Amino acid sequence: MNTLYGAPEAAQDRGLFSLSELKPDELSKLVERSVALFRDRDAHSFPLRDRVAGVLFTRTSTRTRTAFQTGVVRLGGTPIAYGPHDLQLNTGESVGDTARVLGSMLDLLVARTSGPLDELRALSTEGGLPVINAMAAQEHPTQGVCDLATLALAHGDLGGIRVMYIGEGNNTAVALAYGIATVPGARCDFVTPPGYGLPDGVLDTARGIAGTAGAELTETHDVADAPEQLDVVYTTRWQTTGTSKADPAWRETFRPFHVDAVLMRRWPQASFLHDLPAHRGDEVTGEVLDGPRSLAWTQAKMKLSSAMAVLEAAADLTTG
Ligand SMILES: NC(=O)NCCC[C@H](N)C(=O)O
């Protein structure tokens, strides 16, 4: 793979597919740039001037799509937006043929599709252009950049930060695992409902990354095992995009994993994160989401500056 900062290994896929493929200093550079751009959104030199970026979303999106389209414009580029019904992919044209055509005209592609991560890699290799994963079932890497940047903005140095993620082990959780794994001395405890944990292999991969930084990652399926000391409580909605739950009683399984004021009282200093959209009354109460310790709305705003940081790095991979 050939990630945001180069270092090709195999075929020529370029862009951002998974945080597990970035070196720790590459990720921390993205986080720093996100914070800098959050503080001053004009602190750049229009790296996408004369560049055209496709923004392909075949799945719903509020924050990520708006952030990337706006980010392209703010960085001096021109976005071309495609929704779920626009491309001939929808009438059966192959990914390869689509990539070949898009790559001959566009400089960069931001994509959230219903296909696997490999489909995004194919768009890059067959199109010969950088691709940014704007969320796939496997991982939501740009959310991970945003989350670390939000924590860096609010907590300062991330070294030693203690995070609990409570909820389904979804795409957001995977990116968080890979992201926190790069932070020296950090700890992330995943408290996931039984049967809805992190995908196989994710903790092993994250622990492999963490080996260098000395971060610690654990997973439990019981809220009673939540850590005693925490700086951050992170949750996510119960219905992950593109998934359905076979068990009709799934809500009973998820209910003990909701975040309310009683739970938050266990960690009086902890801040609260949520990748949104939220369902008040399910995974979190309005009191917590809209309360003084919630960073969720700062986190949502950080989507733009973190998208700009990712686009800025991807601009270096464009050839036009
Ligand atoms: N911040 C976002 O990108 N929100 C969109 C949904 C994220 C959530 N992890 C999901 O897959 O449904």
Percent of the chain as helix, strand, coil, to the nearest 5: 40, 15, 40
Calpha distance 244→253 (Å, rounded):
14
Using the atom order of ligand 1, give the atom closest to the CA of residue 60: 5
Percentage of the chain beyond pLDDT 70 is 96
Sequence-separated (6 or more) residues with CB below 8 Å from residue 286: 280
ipTM above threshold 0.90: yes
pLDDT score at 3: 59
- pLDDT of residue 213 exceeding 80: no
Q: Is the CB of 235 under 6 A from ligand 1?
A: no
In the CATH hierarchy, which top-level class contains the domain 15-139+303-315? alpha beta
With the most atoms of ligand 1 within 8 angstroms of its CB, the residue from 139, 171, 198, 275 to mutate is 275
- pLDDT of residue 56 exceeding 60: yes
pLDDT tier for residue 212 given thresholds of 50, 70 and 90: confident
215 close to 160: Cβ distance less than 8 angstroms: no
The type of residue at 27 is L
pLDDT score at 7: 44
CA 21 to ligand 1 center in whole angstroms: 21
Percentage of the chain beyond pLDDT 90 is 94
- pLDDT of residue 191 exceeding 60: yes
- Using omega within 30 degrees of 0 as the cis cutoff, is the peptide bond preceding 277 cis? yes
Closest C-alpha among 135, 171, 155 to residue 310: 135
Instruction: Tell me which of 250 and 9 has the higher pLDDT.
Output: 250
Residue ranges of the alpha helices (H) in the chain? 24-39, 63-74, 95-105, 117-127, 141-155, 171-180, 202-213, 250-254, 261-264, 286-289, 296-315
pLDDT score at 1: 36
What's the order of all strands across the beta sheet hosting 162-166?
Answer: 216-220, 187-191, 162-166, 232-235, 271-274
Calpha distance 148→2 (Å, rounded):
22
Q: Is the CB of 236 under 6 A from ligand 1?
A: yes
pLDDT tier for residue 11 given thresholds of 50, 70 and 90: low
**Which DSSP category does 198 fall into?**
P
Closest C-alpha among 196, 189, 275 to residue 225: 189
Sequence-separated (6 or more) residues with CB below 8 Å from residue 211: none
- pLDDT of residue 65 exceeding 60: yes
CA 140 to ligand 1 center in whole angstroms: 8
pLDDT tier for residue 5 given thresholds of 50, 70 and 90: low
Whole-prediction pTM? 0.96
Express each pLDDT in 151-180 by its tens digit.
999 999 999 999 999 999 999 999 999 999
What backbone torsions phi and psi does residue 145 show, to the nearest 5 degrees?
-60, -45
Q: Is the CB of 140 under 6 A from ligand 1?
A: yes
Q: Does domain 142-300 have CATH number 3.40.50.1370?
A: yes
CA 136 to ligand 1 center in whole angstroms: 10
Using the atom order of ligand 1, give the atom closest to the CA of residue 172: 9
pLDDT tier for residue 320 given thresholds of 50, 70 and 90: low
The type of residue at 197 is G
- pLDDT of residue 63 exceeding 90: yes
DSSP β-bridge partners for residue 164: 189, 233
With the most atoms of ligand 1 within 8 angstroms of its CB, the residue from 61, 63, 241, 273 to mutate is 241
The residue whose C-alpha atom lies closest to atom 8 belonging to ligand 1 is 240
Q: Is the CB of 274 under 6 A from ligand 1?
A: no
Using the atom order of ligand 1, give the atom closest to the CA of residue 61: 5
Average pLDDT of span 102-120: 96
Point out the least confidently predicted range of 8-22, 24-38, 221-235. Answer: 8-22
Domains 15-139+303-315 and 142-300 share a fold: yes
Express each pLDDT in 254-271 by its tens digit.
999 999 999 999 999 999
Q: What are the residue ranges spanned by the domains of the chain?
A: 15-139+303-315, 142-300
Q: Is the CB of 143 under 6 A from ligand 1?
A: yes
CA 240 to ligand 1 center in whole angstroms: 7
